[in-house]
Structure 1
Amino acid sequence: MKLSQLPINQEQLVQAWQQTLPSTFHPTDRVEVTADTRNPQSLLIHVHTAGHSNYSFDYECRYMDPREVQVRLIEMQRDGYAISKPSPDIEDLSGTYMRHIHECAQTLHPTTHPH
Structure 2
Amino acid sequence: MNKTEAPVVNRERLLDAWQKTLPTTLNESDRAEVLADAADPDVYRIHIDTAGHSGYSFDFKVTYLDSREIKVEFVDVEKDRVSVDEHTDIIQTLIEDYVRHIHECAQVLHKLTHG
User: Per the shorter chain, which TM-score range?
Assistant: over 0.9
Instruction: Work out whether 1:10 is the aligned partner of 2:11.
Output: yes
**Deviation digits for residues 17-56 of structure 1 (CA, Å, limit 9, x no counterpart):** 0111100001100001010111110000000001111000
| More deviation, 94-103/77-86 | 77-86
Return the alpha-carbon distance in structure 2 between the equivalents of residues 63 and 8 of structure 1.
12
Cα deviation, residue 83, structure 1: 1.4
Structural RMSD (CA)? 1.5
* Equivalent residue runs for 1:31-42 within 5 Å: 31-42=32-43
Residue 42 of structure 1 contacts residue 61 of structure 1 at CA under 8 Å; is this kept in 2? Answer: yes
The answer to whether the 8 A contact 1:31-1:47 is kept is: yes
The TM-score, its normalising length taken from structure 2, stands at: 0.92
Quick one: distance in 1 between partners of 2:42 and 2:86?
29
Identity %: 43
The match for 2:97 is 96
Tell me the TM-score normalised to structure 1 length. 0.92
Is 1:23 the counterpart of 2:24? The answer is yes
Instruction: Tell me by how many angstroms 1:2 deviates.
Output: 9.2
Deviates more, 1:69-78 or 1:82-91: 82-91
4+ runs deviating over 6 angstroms = none
Q: Is the 8 A contact 1:2 1:41 kept in 2?
A: no
Is 1:111–2:96 an aligned residue pair? no
Larger relative contact order (C-alpha < 8 A, sep ≥ 6)? 2
Deviation at 1:10, TM superposition (A): 1.3
Q: Which runs of 5+ in 1 are unaligned?
A: none
Tell me by how many angstroms 1:85 deviates: 4.3
Mapped partners of 1:27, 1:38: distance in 2: 31
CA contact 1:2–1:40 (8 Å) conserved in 2: no
What is residue 80 of structure 1 aligned with on the other side? 81
